[in-house]
Structure 1
Amino acid sequence: MAKTKRSVFPKVLLTIVVVLLILVLIAEFGLRFIIGKQLKEEFQNQAAQQGITVEEEPSISFGASPLLLGLAKGSLNEVTVDTPDTVQITYPGGASSAPEITGTPQATIELSGLGIRDQQNPVAQNLTLTTFASDEFVLATMQKQMAESAGGTDENAGLAAMLVQELVKVTDITSDPASETVEVEFTDGAARASLRPLVLNGQLAFEIVNSELLGFTLPEEVSTMLTEGVQSSIQNVAGGLQIADIQVADGGINITLTGQNINVRTLESAD
């Protein structure tokens, strides 16, 4: 009889352990589901506030490390968020007017060491953001920037601004991965420029490889305005992150940004 009792106890203990493991797994799955659901709802709300209809939903993953353990420690080892492209470009004043841009390009955000004890100020030890700026998006940002630059008076407008005001308009953008340049067309082919995107001190810049406007070389101010236009749009996506890499691809530019000890809410405020 004693032997029977000794054999039953391990089975009961094993059953308890299995039940606890199942409960933990259910809790882990439920927690991940709830957080993912909240993310999707927040994303949809932000898009709706901008008047954007989103067909795709964002996704979130926490890697192999148990989320429950991370919550107990107050720090998540790994978080990856994928957001879809919500960019919408309109020309309210007609095809030749300055565009209006809402939404942001597709992005993947990878965070490690995300502190969550202070929910108002979640800080990631390391953050990497990768995004794809399509030719259409780059074209619209350049058109917008050059239109804004051309709006100044003769007293505060530079040479490039006056050129834009009188003659130059960006009408097409084509990324060429073979030459690692972005081909810019002005005024339906009246001028062309090949620009190579560069990373200088963690910021975006464009180097003019070659350019011509009615037989004359485009001034450096044009490159500066183009740089400022794309840079400002990237900042809308990434806040104060530093650009780590730029790659010209088919149909656009792949951009990688990084940062350390980043308050995640600074990315929200950059929208």
Structure 2
Amino acid sequence: MGSSVVIDQTLDRQTFATAVLEASHDRPVLVDFFATWCGPCQLLKPILEKLAQEYDLTLAKVDIDQYPDLATQYHVDGVPDVRLVVAGEVKPGFVGMLPEPQLRELLGQWGLRSSLETAIALVETLVADKRYPEAKVQFDHLFDRYPGHGAVAIAAARFLLQIQKPEDALQILRTIEVGDSPHYEKAQGLKGLAELHALALAPVDGSEETTGELAQAFSRGAQSAVAGDYDTALKTFLEIVGRDRKFRNDGARKAMVTLFDCLGPDHDLTQTYRKRLMQTLY
């Protein structure tokens, strides 16, 4: 796990070179140039400490008022100013306050991966290889180690969908709160997909809603979505919208919107079928 080092006024340039530059050959170092009077610095501090633990980094905090020579040496013009030091090289970072999702994205651009991301990648490999009992054990460990973490909930929900347990997936997804961005947005898309899974697995009760021609088409669309054949699923749901938009309380259109959310706004299928849906509706 990562650690935190406070750089104070007793430090000279040689000590900084030892504590940060030389140490970065063994473990990457985040250098946080800050000031006690700086509001954004205080907001950023707990986020950096959290990420240092997750990404196994050393966090070096430099108070620019206590040690202005270092600030001058590294051309610090504003705070907070965060740099990454790897193998003795100080890399450009960012100045100002960044939200946690953007910080994680930046760390990824630097080629860094958190212990959580590594663990999730491992369990996703197990799922892809259909080693489901081993994946279940790993998820249990992840929930113990990272209680309430949205990324774990998202990965677990995808796993449950793959093993045909949409209701369990929905239960986990409901634990992700609105303020947990960006996991909440991903959860909303997966909730819709889980509902489609549930429809695809629903028993036939003999009613028109489950045995009629449109019902059979809707079931085929849901099954295509479950199988990951989103093109066929969207095409099927679009045909239902064109024939009877009121079927299942506008269910086909809602299913298409769910798949758009899962695919993302920039996906080719989203752009193609969103345009076709608008043409069909209007």
Do Structure 1 and Structure 2 share a fold, with TM-score over 0.5? no
Q: TM-score, normalised by structure 2?
A: 0.30
Higher relative contact order (CA 8 A, sep 6+): 1
Larger helix fraction of residues: 2
Q: TM-score, normalised by structure 1?
A: 0.31
